[in-house]
Amino acid sequence: MLPFHIIDSRTVETVISSSRTQVVDWVKEAYLLHAGGASVNPDSHFLNFPQKPDARIIALPAFLGGDYEAAGIKWVSSFPSNIARNTPRASAALILNDYETGYPFAFLEASHISAARTAASAVLGAEELTGSRSVGTIALIGAGVIARTIVDFFESRVWSVDKFLVHDRESQYMESLAHYINSSTPYRSDTRISTGSAISGSDVVVLTTTATTPYITQPGAFSNGQVVLNISLRDIGPDIVAASHNILDDVDHCLKANTSPHLTEQLLGHREFIDGSLPELMTRKIQVSDDKPKIFSPFGLGVLDIAVGLNVNRAAIERALSTEIPDFFGNMTRWPRPAGGRMEGWA
C-alpha cells in the first residue's frame, strides 16, 4: 500500500515554478498517450447553481497509462465573483489513485496544476501552429491568473516576443498584468482599450476570459495565418470558427457545453470545419496552412492533470516537501486475525 501524502499550494507552486519546461513535456507526453489509447478520459461533470449562474464546479476523472499507471479526479471550481475580493476565480484539488489497489495515495492543491497544464497546452498549441518560438506581438485578451501563467510558460520555453498587448474590461487587471510583464519577465508590454485594437496585427491571440457567450463575432476579426489560442473556449462566434482552421485537443470532448466549436457544430450540423487534434498536429498526421486564421481550442483533459499531478507528487516527496499521513486509512485488515488466542483488528 502506497503511503498517503498531502501536497499543499506552496509546495505545488515551488515544484512547478522550477519545472515549467518539464511541465510542457509532461503535458505533451500525456496528449500522445491519450491519442494512442493509453488513457481513460470520461466526460467532465458540471455542478451548476441556479442562484449563481456564472459559478460552477467541475469534476474531471481520468486514468493515464504508459509509465504513469495512475487514476485520479480533479475537483475545480470557477466563481468569477471572487475577483471582486482580489481572490483568484478558480480553486481546485486533485486526488491520485493507485492503479493496483484503487486506493488514493495523494491529495494535492491543484489550482497551480490546473493553471500550469492549461498554460503548457496553450504554449504547445502556439509552437505547433506558428512553427517557431519567435513572434512579433502576442495579444492577451483577459488579464487574469491564466494569462499570467501563460506568459511565464512562454518565457520558460525561451520564446522571442517583441511585445505583449494586454486587454481586459477591467482597467485595473489590465494594468496589473502589463506591469507584471514589464517588471518580472524579459518582455515588454502595453495595454489596449479594446479587444479589436489588441487583436489587430498580432501574430498570436490568447483568449483567457470568463465569457460565457461569444463576443468576437465581427467577420474578419482574425486575419489569415493568425494563431488564436481559444483557452476560454466561448469567446468566438461560430461564423468565425467556421471560416478558420480548427485544432482541438480532443474533438469529442470539446464539442460539448456550448463551446465555440460546439456552437459551430450546432450551426452547421456537421464537424467538417475541424481539421484535427493537437496530437495529430504534433505527430504530423495533419497540417494547417496560413490561408485562414488558425484556432486552437483545448477543452482541458483530466489526463493532463494526472500527468502533472503525479510528477509534482513525486518531486515533492523526493525533496521532502510533502506531508505524509501514515494512518490515513486506519486499520487495513479486512477480517480480524487470530493472535495468541485473541482477535485483533476489524474489517
b/e 29-44 (16+ beta carbons within 10 angstroms → b):
bbbebbbeebbebeeb
C-alpha cell at 241: 470558427
160 & 276 share domain: yes
Same-domain status, 85 and 168: no
Residue 48 resides in a domain? yes
Residue 17: CATH number of its domain? 3.30.1780.10
Do 194 and 265 lie in one domain? The reply is: yes
Does one domain contain both 43 and 71?
yes
What is the extent of the structural domain holding 136?
A: 124-297
Report helix, strand or coil for 116.
Answer: helix
Question: What is the distance between the alpha carbons of residues 159 and 223, in angstroms, rounded to a whole number?
Answer: 22
Note the pLDDT of residue 347: 45
Q: Does residue 23 contact residue 116 with C-beta atoms inside 8 Å?
A: yes
pLDDT of res. 340: 57
Q: Are residues 151 and 279 in the same domain?
A: yes
Is 108 a member of any domain? yes
CA atoms within 13 A on the CB side of 240: 22
What is the model's pLDDT at position 346?
Answer: 44
Q: Are residues 246 and 311 in the same domain?
A: no
In a domain, 190, yes or no: yes
In a domain, 201, yes or no: yes
Q: Decide the pairing of beta strands 52-64 and 45-49.
A: antiparallel
**Residue 162: which of 132, 143, 188, 184 has the closest Cα?**
188
CB–CB of 163/189 below 8 Å? yes
Same domain, 101 and 142: no
Long-range contacts from 289-292, C-beta under 8 angstroms, 24+ separation: 289/245, 290/224, 290/225, 291/224, 291/225, 292/224, 292/225, 292/243, 292/244, 292/245
Closest CA to 232 of 202, 205, 194: 205
Q: Which of 257, 210, 265 is nearest to 241 (CA)?
A: 265
Give domain status of residue 346, yes or no. Answer: no
Assigned domain for 344 exists: no
- Do 293 and 323 sit in the same domain of this protein? no
The total number of structural domains that make up the chain: 2
What one-character-per-residue DSSP string does 300-317 give?
Answer: --HHHHHHHHHHHHHHHH
157 and 244 in one domain? yes
Q: Give me the pLDDT at residue 341, please.
A: 53
Please answer whether residues 303 and 2 qualify as being in contact, where contact means their C-beta atoms are separated by less than 8 angstroms: no
Tell whether 286 is covered by a domain: yes
Residues 109 and 134 in one domain: no
For residue 347, is it within any domain? no
Claim to verify: residue 137 and residue 187 sit in the same structural domain: yes
- For residues 176 and 286, state if they share a domain: yes
Q: What is the pLDDT of residue 342?
A: 55
The residue among 210, 231, 236, 267 whose CA lies nearest residue 82 is: 210
Q: pTM (2 decimals)? A: 0.92
The domain spanning residue 132 has which CATH number? Answer: 3.40.50.720
H/E element holding 3?
Answer: none
Task: Tell me the per-residue pLDDT of 302-334, one tens digit each, with 9 for 90 and over.
Answer: 999 999 999 999 999 999 999 999 989 887 787
First to last CA, the chain: 16
What is the full per-residue pLDDT of the chain (347 aa) written as tens digits? 789 999 999 999 999 999 999 999 999 999 999 999 999 999 999 999 999 998 999 999 999 999 999 999 999 999 989 988 888 888 999 999 999 999 999 999 999 999 999 999 999 999 999 999 999 999 999 999 999 999 999 999 999 999 999 999 999 999 999 999 999 999 999 999 999 999 999 999 999 998 989 999 999 999 999 999 999 999 999 999 999 999 999 999 999 989 999 999 999 999 999 999 999 999 999 999 999 999 999 999 999 999 999 999 999 999 999 999 998 988 778 787 665 555 555 44
